[in-house]
Structure 1
């Protein structure tokens, strides 16, 4: 039975945002169309992965949720609303008129991903005049062997892909903690870089706010600016920051806590966190240390979110606008510095007070939070290999893994398809006697298999539908043949937006266009008028 869900207008959503009441505005399209145009506070939660992500990202079941998702002439929002209702959410709405309705009502639309954080970074530079140096100026310092250290504020894997020569990996939240160990001489020039602008600006301003004695500047426009200047980047670098040392840690702690206090961050005892979880309030709990430290031991119910990335990707980590955020570390530096930025972005944020090491009793990665996967028929690697070998053309393998993973390697002859577009996919795939769904682990494939069974039944097909036990991982582990590339594509690979600042082969025109877009974000913020940013 189809349920009609209530709608909420642009004006009503805007009123909730301005009043700072909790609301989750969700775009259920894939990431690429989301990145082409969306409201400032929309979070991307693709219909394809909804069951796997909803409970973790929207923990309170009575959160006010508003959905939109026009795709290729069809509206995904009603399907997403139904699935969210089945997951226990009780206040699910559809955006009146969808994205077109938002636009026609005068709502501002933004491009790219992680836009709230990027727009905030531009506002910080605009208001604080964050110091920066051009790629040519930084290269001249390095070439002259000047007293300079370059600190890369991105994730370590991004740093390894491409980095500024001589740079050391110091992800954003680690900067204030570790900079004194890397630049003990106050005369040393400190340069902070990222791929584009945001993490360079926030990282540099973090050091300025924390009062380090060194001259500090952002690498203007990051690795994009470096490439546009025609300068060579390093690849596969592996330099990491050393331990801070007790003396440096003490100084960093005092300055970080002073910055947090100025930003309006509150402290909370570990045993008092539950008091924040009022019936109508969402509370996100994040451990802002490195993933390795998190897995070695963390507080119960805290998720891993390294501080620099949390500030960069707040819309992904905390899609419920108006929620409360609680941060934890073990040094009194990283959580206060991260919290200082979240508070300036308008979040109600708390830092866990000092607590014993024994409280961090949970080991390993956080357990996944999602409903049980549907019960479906399975086929083993051996059985699938035999079908493909002995009766070619009768079995269609449909791979619903991430597009980048499929392109890297997949089962020979497998079709790439996005789960939410299976109806489109089976039009492109030759009709088969049996369909075998797979993905990295087989988890998403189980949900896709249920969808495909319903689609085929509605079309009168009696084809078998099963899932590869263990997914692609099991196939590769068994040493079966594999191939790469984009041979069989049943739906366009729109599940990931190609960032103009990632990888090493982005066209110069795309990189420059990205920078031009970032430069315009302050004006777009003013036109939108729904943010609560305040820069200290």
Structure 2
């Protein structure tokens, strides 16, 4: 194929920012991929798009956009990187791939304050929950005063193990957000302990604290305002390493988690499907379905269901767009029979507009 023919084909698949705004506002399935390098994108794209760097797009697009005929918009740095990738994807049968003219510079040329996004940003959503529920908080200075006074307080860090290991409040225990109900009784054995939930900033800490409150734990629960960022701003040292992480769940903790799942899910109604139904949905050529296993990576590595991908529940709570790239997709959350992780994730994601179903499986019996 000549260079001129490639240019002609990709040019016909280029859209402008106004078109993308209209697509973001309609109800048809849409995937937006920010293909700039991860170190350039940082925490979140201005589109809250899924960041899939250009050198990984062709190899990994099936994970993020499982169905070939989904409108997919590639957004680059305005440097023309997206055009040849769009052509290559079209050659494999992905005929609905488009390129945003001018890339991110064009999209942000008039500022970012009023831009439509793919998803409700985790920060905005968590702040809305905080304001609605009056979620209690403590400052870094207040927490340090409690620690120095020997108060009965425990810090639970709800980030991933890798983030926790890189730096956390001294003495904190690493329990990723979706694991809170399942691990709570093993980590916090006393109802008198003040539980402070932390993350790097706000979203996962607020949602984690409110999860525990909604689930009816007897403890006083707060979130650490601005998390480890605030801790450093107070000139306090972070602790590094995997110093204290969640462990195996004992039977008593699992039973307590089941009770709290019932509490937090009292007003939730999610369909429960079996594996055959989930696989039929995933194979549907007219609708995108994600099969997301929200257990820990260690559990997933030991036993998993076919066609599923591991998506730690805590990350889905804060940055769902990093995994769920297709707007309007159906999401099946996979968990063990306790449903402690899936119920927490479903409880919050459905409030962000996602269509959710649960698939519970006895992984121990199938191991």
Distance 1:268 1:105, change over 3 A: farther
2-side partners of 1:144 and 1:340: how far apart? 37
Query: What TM-score does the superposition give when structure 1 sets the normalisation length?
Result: 0.61
Counterpart contact for 1:263–1:344, Cα < 8 Å:
no
2-side partners of 1:261 and 1:66: how far apart? 39
Counterparts in 2 of 1:96-111, with a 5 A limit?
A: 96-103=101-108, 108=113
Q: What is the Cα deviation at residue 132 of structure 1?
A: 0.8
Give the one of 68, 75, 82 matched to 1:77.
82
- Say whether 1:210 aligns with 2:221: no
Give the one of 300, 319, 323 matched to 2:329.
323
- Paired position in structure 1 for 2:237: 232
1-side partners of 2:247 and 2:107: how far apart? 49
Counterpart contact for 1:283–1:326, Cα < 8 Å:
yes
Counterpart contact for 2:334–2:361, Cα < 8 Å:
no
Counterpart contact for 2:293–2:311, Cα < 8 Å:
yes
2-side partners of 1:225 and 1:258: how far apart? 32
- Say whether 1:48 aligns with 2:55: yes
Counterparts in 2 of 1:262-281, with a 5 A limit?
A: 262-277=267-282, 278-281=284-287
Q: What is the Cα deviation at residue 157 of structure 1?
A: 2.4
Counterpart contact for 2:77–2:102, Cα < 8 Å:
no
Distance 1:257 1:40, change over 3 A: farther
2-side partners of 1:270 and 1:354: how far apart? 9
Give the one of 135, 140, 144 matched to 1:130.
135
Counterpart contact for 1:67–1:77, Cα < 8 Å:
yes
- Say whether 1:221 aligns with 2:226: yes
2-side partners of 1:208 and 1:37: how far apart? 28
- Paired position in structure 2 for 1:311: 317
Which deviations, in whole Å up to 9, do the C-alpha atoms of 1:392-427 show, x marking residues without a partner?
xxxxxxxxxxxxxxxxxxxxxxxxxxxxxxxxxxxx
Distance 1:156 1:358, change over 3 A: same
Counterpart contact for 1:282–1:324, Cα < 8 Å:
yes
- Paired position in structure 1 for 2:306: 300
- Paired position in structure 1 for 2:252: 247
1-side partners of 2:114 and 2:89: how far apart? 25
Counterparts in 2 of 1:163-202, with a 5 A limit?
A: 163-202=168-207
Distance 1:224 1:99, change over 3 A: closer
Q: What is the Cα deviation at residue 150 of structure 1?
A: 1.3
Distance 1:188 1:101, change over 3 A: same
Q: What is the Cα deviation at residue 122 of structure 1?
A: 2.7
Counterpart contact for 1:260–1:339, Cα < 8 Å:
no
- Say whether 1:91 aligns with 2:96: yes
Q: What is the Cα deviation at residue 70 of structure 1?
A: 3.2
Q: What is the Cα deviation at residue 104 of structure 1?
A: 5.6
Q: What is the Cα deviation at residue 15 of structure 1?
A: 3.5
Q: What is the Cα deviation at residue 296 of structure 1?
A: 1.1
SS at match of 1:94: strand
Query: What TM-score does the superposition give when structure 2 sets the normalisation length?
Result: 0.87
Q: What is the Cα deviation at residue 36 of structure 1?
A: 9.4
Q: Which segment is superposed worse, 324-333 or 262-271? A: 262-271
Which deviations, in whole Å up to 9, do the C-alpha atoms of 1:111-163 show, x marking residues without a partner?
xxx98223322332233222110111111211122111111111222222222
SS at match of 1:75: coil
Counterpart contact for 2:317–2:349, Cα < 8 Å:
yes
- Paired position in structure 2 for 1:18: 25
Q: Which runs of 5+ in 1 are unaligned?
A: 362-536
Distance 1:273 1:32, change over 3 A: same
Distance 1:109 1:216, change over 3 A: same
2-side partners of 1:27 and 1:195: how far apart? 23
- Paired position in structure 2 for 1:146: 151
Give the one of 29, 36, 40 matched to 1:29.
36
Counterpart contact for 1:150–1:191, Cα < 8 Å:
yes
Distance 1:343 1:36, change over 3 A: closer
SS at match of 2:327: coil
Which deviations, in whole Å up to 9, do the C-alpha atoms of 1:300-343 show, x marking residues without a partner?
11111221122233212111111111111213111111122221
Counterpart contact for 2:335–2:342, Cα < 8 Å:
yes
SS at match of 2:126: helix
Counterparts in 2 of 1:467-478, with a 5 A limit?
A: none
Q: What is the Cα deviation at residue 258 of structure 1?
A: 4.5
Q: Which segment is superposed worse, 177-186 or 136-145? A: 177-186
Question: What number of residue pairs does the alignment pair up?
Answer: 355
Which deviations, in whole Å up to 9, do the C-alpha atoms of 1:364-394 show, x marking residues without a partner?
xxxxxxxxxxxxxxxxxxxxxxxxxxxxxxx
Q: Greater CA radius of gyration, 1 or 2? A: 1
1-side partners of 2:142 and 2:43: how far apart? 34
What RMSD over aligned residues (CA atoms) do the two structures have, in Å?
Answer: 2.6
Distance 1:353 1:293, change over 3 A: closer
- Say whether 1:64 aligns with 2:106: no
Distance 1:33 1:185, change over 3 A: closer
- Paired position in structure 2 for 1:161: 166
Give the one of 338, 344, 360 matched to 1:353.
360
1-side partners of 2:363 and 2:230: how far apart? 45
